[in-house]
Chain A
């Protein structure tokens, strides 16, 4: 337990956990906001150039993000986004949104468009049918998105280091310099922090799901 004591006395660790939380949760929310509508459109509609969009949305994970971020660096300095957590949030969208779109694409495909048709033909509004039918069915996908995206956001060292400069300290940017300077027991405790944080976030979202999403009993 000595490792934990030393680790928790380090003032920067709390700051780092806080900003990792803030950045990670913002990235998760933006991901859901972007990917649920897009995943639905790709799954339910066929239109010209669909394959092009699907390919385009995979690009951010295929093109090395280091190349992209180095290119963006100067512009982001001019826009005042470097050294700021918002800038870090934006670059963390790069390695996460493609996965989220894939997750929702396949889950909408699995559910199928017919439930929505039925609800609308029975006189429900589109938004209400989405809220009452699809949202409960999407819960497993939302859960895996929250988890996956938050872990992706936690794991970014280079992107955070380049865009965040020295000012945005997340647990990833703190972990690396620690590796060579601190005792093994401290690093081991620190490594566990990486597993604990996603679990807390998952718990938070589980709470939100219980409160806001209807008909959980039938589908849970």
Chain B
């Protein structure tokens, strides 16, 4: 196996440097900006931010949107994947779930506006059929205060991503184990619980963290589909960072770093859990 010897580790250097120099350095600079006031150390900005009603509202709003969207994307993605891997041989399906990837998020967002806003296609369709009598009777799901439009957009866009992550795992699954469960009289749920779940659980967790942190810190879609109050966190931060007076800048850093720390701590909790689980799984399945 040793072909390149130590030089193999050299190949890890470029992404290592990239991560340290960009992510590491960037976060450290951000932290330093958020705790300095007139060259003195202070946590004042964090206190300010968490005492700020606009920020708290925005944090709640963002967290709930991210949780709900992630949950539905994972759930629907899992269902579709289980159905897909049985018809895996059909190459056509591979192309179909790539299509949503063709457009950036904000283009999907714009399509949502086009279709579902009160002046959109569906509204005028049901109006012309006569189900509603005025265009403004159409339910508000774009720029609504619950973020339904944002959630729908993300579920549509992230479900293919979940499928993309899960399908290879289902492909590698030891399907003889499923047959064992079935011959022993297990139901479909037993197959899922005892064979599939232990195998896909790490990937499912990883995918859900990626999706969650992506949505929590997203800017483009909420910009199109969100409300002015409460705003998704990134919009608020961008506003503090760029608009008007510079005194808001440290607050922008403090707000964004709070979100970062939140994601980071979930990730650490997951990782410490996963390292143990992965080890058990490798021993149990006998595939690796």
Contact = CB atoms under 8 A, between A and B. Distances in A.
Interface string A188-200: 1001001100100
Contact of B263 (A57, A64, A74, A198): A64
23 contacts: A33-B14, A34-B14, A41-B9, A41-B12, A51-B275, A53-B12, A56-B19, A64-B260, A65-B217, A66-B256, A67-B253, A68-B26, A69-B26, A70-B241, A71-B33, A74-B29, A106-B168, A116-B3, A147-B101, A151-B101, A179-B110, A194-B104, A198-B102
Sorting the interface of chain B by its residue count into under 10, 10 to 19, 20 to 34 or 35 or more gives: 35 or more
Contact of B219 (A40, A60, A66, A93): A66
Contacts of A188: 114
Sorting the interface of chain A by its residue count into under 10, 10 to 19, 20 to 34 or 35 or more gives: 35 or more
A75 B29 contact: yes
Interface of B: 1, 3-4, 8-9, 11-12, 14-16, 18-19, 22-23, 25-31, 33, 98, 101-107, 110-111, 114, 168, 206, 209-210, 213-214, 216-217, 219-220, 223-224, 234, 237-238, 241, 252-253, 256-257, 259-260, 263-264, 267, 271, 275
A155 B22 contact: no
A90 B252 contact: no
A195 B12 CA distance: 33
Contact of B15 (A34, A172, A175, A195): A34
Chain B binding surface, main DSSP class: helix
A58 B22 CA distance: 13
A47 B2 CA distance: 11
A191 B1 contact: no
B11 A41 contact: yes
Contact of A56 (B16, B102, B220, B264): B16
